[in-house]
């Protein structure tokens, strides 16, 4: 109890700064408007709850995208099931809103007991599903005390995160008794949770629901149409979900690639919408002929960089490329990479930088299958050129990646069996 009280005091001191970062107005970032009150437990009741709702928490964009196949499968299984999805961020909310009437969205209350209790009173959830690993002590305690089962789905715990939790083991000891089940992406994840004290009978390995990617025929066709607009015969590579400090490295590599392939086009897609304008300005300052997706300008053979400044179109943009570099992997140990399986399902060969701890097991498996290229900043140019200029190597790599993805699918059905 003392540990949680101390934690709450620290949270009180940190909350103004956390909220400032959350609410700070940034270009292309959706605004919270009057819904900011939901973060404090002033939560509107659901519009049409036919049954006690299933509560799914997906903190931001990445978790929201991961949750979508699960949400659709749950609704197919039981169309009458009411589902409420909470996100912390407005960009996550924007992603969930694409599901239309399948779910209702609310903002997640911040980790104060009074706020979480306010949410529970308004929503009356039957069960809470946490996507990946978003474990807040006061939230879990309040939900558990209300006799609401808590299941962590698609749980992952990198070695770095495990060591960080171990530094506050006393606090983690307050967290894990509130969890009913932790469904892990891999055995390595389960082993790390066990090291932190979660009993074996609460741990199961179901695999990653990210393997159960479904891409609609419409998205595939839209990707092909975009490629025709960009130039069907020119070499095109995409740098997807890039972070601050990474774009300069990508653009430097592209400048060199242009000396070998003068008609090459780079699709550059920043991870965060508030950076769209900044990255486009950077392209111009470095002398690139650039256009943005939202400008709807016609690309010509002189266009060198196409900035993807939209949300929710990543699969379409990847589908328009010959090669995909997955961002968040050339910025030291700050980010840990993004989902390398998205290019695989679209038969686009993938390159990642050396920092990929968020997908460590998947990248290592793909590497053992010779289905991915792990590069450094100094070898990014040669790796990209190799794939852009050799269609047979591209075909072989994508075939191996698809085989790996297909043999690992089925996590969704395992998760559904637990629910």
CA torsion 274→241→38→30, rounded to 10°?
Answer: 30
Residues 6+ apart with CB under 8 A from 217: none
**Strand 373-374 vs strand 350-352: parallel, antiparallel, or unpaired?**
parallel
> Is 342 a known active-site residue?
no
The active-site residue out of 63, 104, 246, 342 is 63
Nearest to 97 by CA among 52, 145, 65, 138: 65
Residue listed under structure tokens 């103004």: 16
87, 106 Cβ separation under 8 angstroms: no
**Separation in Å, CA 256 to CA 262, 378, 394:** 10, 12, 21
**CA separation for the pair 413, 400 (Å, rounded):** 24
Q: What are the structure tokens assigned to 392, written together?
A: 């047979």
The two structure tokens encoding residue 170: 């006393």
Picking from 57, 60, 100, 54, the residue whose alpha carbon sits closest to that of residue 74 is 54
Cβ-contact 182, 203 below 8 angstroms: yes
Distance CA 308, CA 269 (A): 5
Query: What is d(CA 88, CA 34) in angstroms, rounded to the nearest whole number?
Result: 15
Q: Which two tokens stand for residue 150?
A: 């808590």
Cα–Cα distance, 363 to 180 (Å, whole number) = 30
CB 266 within 8 A of CB 255: no
Question: 238 with 321: CB under 8 angstroms?
Answer: yes
Beta strand spans in 225-301 (E):
236-242, 265-270, 290-292
Give catalytic residues, as residue numbers: 63
């Amino acid at each position: 109890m003392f540990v949680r009280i101390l934690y709450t005091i620290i949270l009180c001191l940190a909350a103004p700064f956390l909220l400032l970062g959350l609410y700070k107005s940034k270009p292309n970032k959706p605004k919270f408007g009057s819904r900011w009150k939901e973060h404090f437990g002033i939560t509107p009741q659901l519009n049409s709850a036919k049954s006690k709702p299933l509560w799914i928490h997906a903190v931001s964009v990445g978790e929201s995208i991961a949750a979508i196949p699960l949400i659709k499968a749950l609704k197919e299984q039981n169309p009458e099931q009411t589902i409420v999805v909470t996100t912390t961020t407005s960009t996550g909310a924007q992603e969930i809103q694409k599901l239309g009437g399948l779910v209702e969205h609310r903002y997640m209350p911040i980790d104060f007991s009074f706020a979480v209790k306010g949410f529970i009173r308004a929503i009356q959830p039957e069960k809470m599903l946490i996507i990946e690993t978003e474990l807040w002590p006061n939230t879990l305690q309040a939900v558990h005390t209300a006799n609401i089962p808590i299941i962590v789905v698609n749980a992952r715990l990198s070695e770095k995160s495990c060591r960080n939790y171990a530094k506050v083991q006393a606090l983690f000891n307050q967290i894990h008794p509130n969890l009913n089940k932790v469904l892990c992406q891999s055995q390595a994840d389960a082993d790390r949770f066990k090291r932190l004290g979660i009993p074996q009978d609460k741990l199961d390995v179901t695999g990653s629901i990210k393997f159960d990617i479904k891409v609609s025929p419409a998205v595939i066709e839209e990707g092909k149409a975009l490629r025709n607009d960009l130039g069907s015969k020119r070499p095109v590579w995409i740098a997807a979900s890039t972070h601050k400090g990474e774009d300069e490295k990508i653009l430097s590599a592209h400048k060199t690639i242009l000396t070998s392939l003068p008609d090459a086009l780079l699709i550059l897609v920043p991870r965060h919408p508030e950076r769209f304008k900044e990255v486009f300005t950077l392209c111009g300052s470095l002398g690139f002929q650039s256009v943005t997706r939202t400008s709807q300008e016609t690309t010509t053979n002189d266009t060198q960089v196409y900035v993807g400044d939209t949300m929710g179109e990543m699969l379409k943009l990847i589908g328009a490329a010959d090669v995909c570099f997955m961002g968040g992997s050339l910025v030291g140990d700050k980010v840990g990479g993004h989902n390398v399986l998205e290019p695989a399902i679209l038969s686009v060969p993938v390159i990642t930088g050396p920092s990929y701890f968020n997908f460590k097991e998947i990248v290592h498996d793909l590497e053992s299958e010779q289905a991915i290229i792990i590069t450094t900043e100094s070898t990014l140019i040669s790796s990209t050129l190799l794939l852009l200029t050799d269609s047979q190597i591209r075909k072989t790599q994508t075939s191996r990646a698809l085989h790996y993805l297909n043999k690992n699918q089925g996590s969704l059905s395992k998760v559904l069996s637990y629910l």
